[in-house]
Amino acid sequence: MELTAEKTKTDLHSKYVSNPVLAEKELTKEKIREIIARRAAKEFKEGDVVTLGIGLPTAVADYVPHEKHVIFQSENGLLGVGKSQNSETPDTRIINAGGGFVEAKYGACFYDSQMAFTMMRGGHIDATVLGALQVDEEGSLASWMIPGKMVPGMGGSMDLVVGAKKVIVAMEHMSKGAIKIVKKCSLPLTAYKEVDLIITERCVFEFKNNQMILIEINPMFSVDDIKKSVDANFIVSKNLKYIQV
């Protein structure tokens, strides 16, 4: 269903309660994670090779339909990452880059970091889903450090944002009330103008022709709500839709 930018929060919610994922009136931490992961999982095409970053992005693998063939790669050396292991006695030998226990799909292979980063840097990854501390209106990404706090390093994010064909940021819309979508990143950058899509629990932004475009919105929020919760210039798509989960 297409929306107009003038639709109110009440109109949106009353007309979209048929979707159980979005029908709840309050967003718990678990529901926020589910909405973002479900929406990100819809971005992949049949046969895509996808690398998921640590944190929230690792949940995306749990929401890809069984009938869709998507190959997940993990930078710690696993091609063929499956869903999370929910068993009380998981196989602790198989983990993703974030240390979570995952399944290895039939035909999966294991390899060293050199091979993993060769894949990431060599243009063999169709899409990557990463978390972020900040994203700005130019599509620049800050994801690895907050000055004054100890960090282990940038990790594989800098390789993925320049090596993957599509860069998707999947993150909570705000952090403890702090705005994360900004006019200009104030934190050290991971990459400059490399983000293609931002997915949050409230909306989806697309970067196209040097513009940040609001293309989808959660029916719990209005366009005005989105404007108040970002510190960036954006335009509203003429074909604004409900967030697809």
Whole-number Å distance between alpha carbons of 176 and 42 = 27
Which bin fits 225, alpha (ψ -120 to 50), beta or left (φ > 0)? alpha
**34, 43, 75, 138: the active-site residue:** 75
Examine the residue annotation and report whether 172 is marked as an active-site residue of this protein.
Answer: no
Amino acid identity of 240? L
Per the listing, tokens 């510190």 go with 231
Whole-number Å distance between alpha carbons of 4 and 20 = 23
160 contact partners, CB below 8 Å, separation of at least 6: 51, 53, 75, 120, 125, 128, 130, 167
> So which residues are the catalytic ones?
75
